Amino acid sequence: MRNGVLFLFVVLLAIIPLIFLNNAEFGGADGKVEEAILEVAPDYEPWFHAIWEPPSGEIESLLFSLQAALGAIIIGYVIGYGKARKKYSSSKQYHNE
């Protein structure tokens, strides 16, 4: 029951902004920072440039999605490993007595 409520909450958290802000442009933080810097100092010259820039926005989105998926897999593995370790270490403790 609790997992179902949490799942519903996450789904609503993802859908509600899309419903209420249907024509909004969801830009990244880097674009907003660039705008803010240009407002404050229009002659600012970046001191760092990317080593490699993806050829298109779709490839950039793909790489970002892969990075997010890999991070989710690692986090899920660590959480699952910790839960299983806790579960099996407590069951071993009862069998040794």
pLDDT reported for residue 92: 63
Q: Specify the number of domains making up the chain.
A: 1
Res. 28: pLDDT tops 90:
no
- Tokens 């950039």 — which residue? 60
pLDDT reported for residue 94: 55
Whole-number Å distance between alpha carbons of 93 and 31: 54
Structure-block tokens of residue 70: 């890999």
Res. 48: pLDDT tops 80:
yes
Res. 11: pLDDT tops 90:
yes
Structure-block tokens of residue 23: 């024509």
Structure-block tokens of residue 46: 């970046």
Res. 53: pLDDT tops 80:
yes
Domain with 33, as residue range(s), is 2-96
Res. 74: pLDDT tops 70:
yes
Predicted TM-score of the model (pTM): 0.54
